[in-house]
Amino acid sequence: MARYWRACGAVLMSGFLVKAVSNNGTQSEIYIEASSTTDAASKIRARGLTPLSARPGNPPRKKRPPRGAAVAASRIVRELGALTGAGLTVEQALSSLSRYVSSSLMQTVAMSLREDIRAGMSLADAFAARPEIFPPPFPQIAEAGEVAGALPAALNDLADWQERRANFDGEIQGALIYPIILLVLAFVAVSGLLVFVVPRFEQVFADMGAAPPPFAAGVFATARGLAKAAPFILVIGTGSTFLMGLWLRGLEARRSAYAFAHRLPGIGPLLRSMLAARFCRVLAVLLQNGLSAVPAFRLASASLSDDYAKMKLDEALTQVRRGASLPDQIAASGVLPPLAVEIIRVGEQTGELGKATDRLATLLENRLERGARTALHLAEPALIGFVGLIVGVIIVSILLALVSVNDIGI
């Protein structure tokens, strides 16, 4: 694996757990990806914290989000933005929020956030301590708002982004319900025919000592093969899934998997478009809330779930800090589409990088939505036709077998 990354010209990055202290004396242990302990300490200092110690380690295991976490996070952020915009401090806004919300989850989260704020943590750090409720880019955008002194605007922008994403996900999930139900019912129907119906006709021919028609014989052989192979397929599939899950817990393994996905035809361009939409949306929110380009770039990169893309963008950021051009380094990373690189280049030249990335994010999001809807509309008839073909083949073989039995009887 190390030889692979060196061949690609990449800097090997590892995970480190760094103990750090904030300006108010609060200690915390932060997971960060870096090339060495010195690099990890430098990245911690760039966040305004003082590193105390660093050791190799893995990120903390993610907790399973409670039911309704996405809705609760969106509402908390939206109402925090309204309350702080009305002049309340974050602590006062959380106290007010914990008193009047009806959701027990929102009340619990608001009260725990308030206790962290009282202990001296920033809102961004409080969000980061609850990744199951506030996953990236919640902490990153809150940090940008706090740094720029525009927290209410940043929280409102964050709530807008979260609601748009939730609406899109809801539309896709709703559109997938019918194909999934159809696929499950078709699987049950075909399995029932192959397991219970087809063997009975095969037994009829065996009892009569006659050979079935070639077409029916092929279906009979397929049914026998599937019945014998089903336990092995189940064991191999379950074992492979378990081993793959264990393998993907490692940082280098996830990077390898994402790097492989980036190279796949069809999937790679789609993955890069999704990355660009997410990256540019977060970057636009950060820039429009007053953050400068380099820290905004770092926070937008941290909001991505693609470990390979995060590594390549972190390398690009390192070169930018040394004086290299931002668009050139993004192009060299190879993880964003050419359109994104060109629009970022134009935005940097005109001094309107925030507006440029906002327009690009909207363009890519709309394109992805249209593409998803089109794919689903095409998938439904294709799925119906495929299932109908399989069921038709089985029924035709059974009819041929019936006709053959009658001929033998005559």
What DSSP string runs through 349-362?
A: HHT-HHHHHHHHHH
Instruction: Evaluate whether the domain defined by 152-410 bears CATH number 1.20.81.30.
Output: yes
By CB neighbour count within 10 A (0-12 exposed, 13-18 middle, 19+ buried), where does 16 fall? Answer: buried
What phi and psi values does residue 13 have, to the nearest 5 degrees?
A: -115, 140
CA 81, chain centre distance (Å) = 26
Q: What is the pLDDT of residues 188-222, one digit of tens each?
A: 888 777 777 778 777 777 777 777 777 778 878 88
Q: Are 16 and 32 in contact (CB under 8 A)?
A: yes
pLDDT tens readout for residues 162-194: 887 777 777 777 777 877 888 888 888 887 777
Say how far apart CA 12 and CA 27 lie, in whole Å: 28
pLDDT in tens, 236-277: 989 998 888 888 887 788 888 989 988 988 888 888 888 888
In a 10 Å sphere around its CB, with 0-12 CB exposed, 13-18 middle and 19+ buried, how is residue 108 labelled?
A: middle
Query: Ramachandran region of residue 356, left (φ > 0), alpha (ψ -120 to 50) or beta?
Result: alpha
Given a cut of 70, whether residue 406 has pLDDT beyond it is no
Digit-coded pLDDT (tens) for 34-90: 778 888 888 778 766 788 888 887 766 666 777 888 888 889 999 999 999 999 999
Domain map (residue ranges) of the chain: 2-56, 69-135, 152-410
Are the C-beta atoms of residues 329 and 277 closer than 8 Å to each other?
no
Domain 2-56 falls under CATH 3.10.20 = yes
Are residues 403 and 210 in contact, defined by beta-carbon separation less than 8 angstroms?
no
d(CA 239, CA 208): 42
